[in-house]
Structure 1
Amino acid sequence: MMLVLGAALGFFGGLFGIGGGIIAIPLLALGFGLDQAVAQGTALVMMVPNLLIAWFRYSQRHPVALKTALQIGALACLTTWLVAHFATRLPPDLMRKVFSVFLLAVSLRILKQLQQAPASTHLPDRKARDLRFMPLVGIVGGSSMGLLGVGGGLVATPIFSGWFGQRQTVAQSLSLALVAPSSIIALMTYSGAHRVDWALGLPMALGGLFTVSAGVAVAHRLPEKRMRAAFAWMILCTAAWMLVKPLVLHSA
C-alpha cells in the first residue's frame, strides 16, 4: 500500500514540481495515526528523492543558470534552517491559517488572470521584473519549508510565473531548485530529532522513484494555460484542506 501511495504522490509531485508532502502529511496523520511532527518527517523521506529526480528532469528541459540555482538553493536552505529553529515557538494553528489564506489569495489571483485571458491559448501579459532578484524567492520558499515542512514550491512557483514572468514549467523548475536542497535540510533536522518513521517513508520513496519522470513528461505536454489552471486549482484545494484539517482531526 505504501508503494502504491508513493507512486501516486510521485506522479503528482512530478506533474506540479512539488514533493507531494502536502497530501502525504494529512494521509499519514489520519490514516496511520502519526502525530503531526512524525507525519512531516516521514513525508520528507519520500519528498527528498522525488524532488531531486523532478529537479533533474525539469533541468534537462529548462536548464537554469547554475549561479541562479545555487543562490536560490542557498538562501532557501539558510532560511529553512533559521525558521525551523524559531517555528516551535510560534502558535502553529495561527501560522497554518495565515499560510492557508495566503494560498487561497494566490490561487484565486491566478484563476482570475486566466478568466481575463482571451478564449485562445494566450495568457495575460506578464510584466517581467528584474531577474537578478529571483534568488530572493528562496527566502520566501525557505520560510514556508522551515515553518510547515512543506509549501515551498506552492509559494515560489506563482512568484516565478506571475511576478517574474516565467512560463509555468520554467517556474516549477526554478521552484525545485529551491525546494529540493531545503527538503534535505528539513529531513536531516527531523531525523536528528527522531521524528521519522522510516518503515513507512522508505516504501513511499521507492514507489515515487518509478513515477516522477512520468509526471514531468505529462507536465510538458499540457498547454501553458491548462497547466497554470491545474496548478491554481491544486493550491486552492490545498488551502481549503489546510483550513478544514483541524476540524477533521478533531472529529476523528
Structure 2
Amino acid sequence: MIEWAMHLLLGAAIGTLGGIFGIGGGLIAIPALVLMFGMDQQIAQGTTLVMVVPNVTLAMWRYHQRTRILLRHAAPLAAAGLVFAWLGSLIAVGLDPDAMRTAFAIFMLVLAAYTYLQMYLRKPPPSAELRQPWPWLMVLGSGSGILGGFFGLGASVLATPVLSTVFGATQVVAQGLSLALAVPSTGVTLMTYALHEHVDWHIGIPMALGGLLSVSWGVRLAHALPEKSLRTGFCLFLVLCAALMIFKA
C-alpha cells in the first residue's frame, strides 16, 4: 500500500510538470524509473507510457477548452505521428538498453539547446495561423512520431519547439497541437511495448492515476505563466533529465 501511494505521488508530480510543459511527463518519468527502480531503458519507457497516454489525452482536452485546437492542423500531425511512432517503437524494443539510454540523454540536450537558442533569434511575431502549409505538418508528425516511438516519450517533445519557431505558433498553441499529435502516437507505442512485455503495470497504473489528478493543475499554470518563462523552464527541465540519464550511464 505504501509503495502504491509513493507511485501515485510520483505520478502526480510528473503530471503537473507534464501539464505545464505540454509533454505528458515522459521526459522526467523515464529517468526517475531508471534511477529509482533500476529499470532497463525499454521497461522504463513502456511503463512511463501507461501514465503518459491518459495524461496527454486529458491535457489535450484541457488545452482545447482554453485555446481551441484546429482540426485542420491537428489531423495531419496526428495521422503521420501514428504511423511513424509505430515504426519507431518496433525498432526500440529490440535495441541495447545502455545504448538507448545514452541516445536518450543526447537527444534531450540537443532539444534543450535548440529551444533555448530560438528565444534569442529574431523571428516574426507568433499567431494562431501557421506559417507553413499542412503538408509540412505531416513531415513534422513523421519525425516527431518516430522519435516519440523510439524513446517512449510522446511526439510532443520534438513538435512543441518546432511548432513555436518554424511554424510561428504561440507556445500555448504549439503545446496544444503537440498534445493532439501525441495522443494517437503514444497509444500505438504503448501497445507495441506491452506486446513485447516492456511494461510494469503495477507501477504504471498508480502513476497514471496520480498524473490524471494533477495534470489539469499543470495546464492552468501553463496559461498563467509568461511565454518566455515557459520556454526557459522547458529547457531547464530537459537539461536536468539529460544529466540524470548521463549519471546513470
TM-score by length of 2: 0.86
Q: 1:64 to 1:195 in 2, by over 3 A?
A: same
Counterpart of 2:123, as a letter, is: D
Say whether residues 1:207 and 2:204 are aligned partners: no
**Aligned with 1:196 (options 161, 174, 199):** 199
Residues 68, 135 of structure 1: 8 Å contact kept: no
Residues 154, 235 of structure 1: 8 Å contact kept: no
**Offset of residue 14 of structure 1:** 0.5
**Offset of residue 86 of structure 1:** 2.9
Aligned residues: 239
Say whether residues 1:86 and 2:91 are aligned partners: yes
What secondary structure, in the 3-state scheme, does the structure 2 residue paired with 1:161 have? helix
Residues 126, 163 of structure 1: 8 Å contact kept: no
Q: 1:37 to 1:112 in 2, by over 3 A?
A: closer
What secondary structure, in the 3-state scheme, does the structure 2 residue paired with 1:195 have? coil
Structure 2 CA distance for aligned equivalents of residues 34 and 89 of structure 1: 16
Structure 1 match to 2:179: 176
Counterpart of 1:225, as a letter, is: K
Structure 2 CA distance for aligned equivalents of residues 67 and 187 of structure 1: 26
Q: How does 1:68-217 map to 2 (within 5 A)?
A: 68-88=73-93, 97=102, 100-114=105-119, 116=120, 124-126=122-124, 129-132=131-134, 133-150=136-153, 152-217=155-220
Structure 1 CA distance for aligned equivalents of residues 107 and 88 of structure 2: 18
Structure 2 CA distance for aligned equivalents of residues 21 and 15 of structure 1: 13
What's the C-alpha RMSD, in Å, of the aligned pairs? 2.2
Tell me the alpha carbon deviations over residues 145-165 of structure 1, each in whole angstroms, 9 at most, x when there is no partner: 221111622211110011111
**Offset of residue 13 of structure 1:** 0.6
Structure 2 CA distance for aligned equivalents of residues 148 and 28 of structure 1: 14
**Unmatched tracts of structure 1, length 5 or more:** 118-123, 247-252
Q: 1:26 to 1:112 in 2, by over 3 A?
A: closer
Residues 46, 198 of structure 2: 8 Å contact kept: yes
Tell me the alpha carbon deviations over residues 46-75 of structure 1, each in whole angstroms, 9 at most, x when there is no partner: 111111000111111222221321221111
Structure 1 match to 2:3: none
**Offset of residue 102 of structure 1:** 4.6
Residues 11, 214 of structure 1: 8 Å contact kept: yes
**Offset of residue 95 of structure 1:** 5.8
**Aligned with 1:53 (options 53, 58, 76):** 58
Counterpart of 1:28, as a letter, is: L
Residues 6, 204 of structure 1: 8 Å contact kept: yes
Q: 1:147 to 1:11 in 2, by over 3 A?
A: same
Q: Percent identity?
A: 46
**Offset of residue 175 of structure 1:** 0.9
Structure 2 CA distance for aligned equivalents of residues 218 and 61 of structure 1: 12
**Unmatched tracts of structure 2, length 5 or more:** 1-5
Structure 2 CA distance for aligned equivalents of residues 21 and 239 of structure 1: 12
- Which has the higher mean CA deviation after the structures are superposed, 224-233 or 6-15? 224-233
Counterpart of 2:57, as a letter, is: L
**Offset of residue 98 of structure 1:** 5.1
Structure 1 CA distance for aligned equivalents of residues 94 and 206 of structure 2: 33
Q: 1:2 to 1:102 in 2, by over 3 A?
A: closer
Tell me the alpha carbon deviations over residues 166-218 of structure 1, each in whole angstroms, 9 at most, x when there is no partner: 11111111111111211111111122222222111111111111110000000
Residues 27, 238 of structure 2: 8 Å contact kept: no
Structure 2 CA distance for aligned equivalents of residues 21 and 165 of structure 1: 25
Residues 46, 202 of structure 1: 8 Å contact kept: yes
Q: 1:242 to 1:35 in 2, by over 3 A?
A: closer
TM-score by length of 1: 0.85
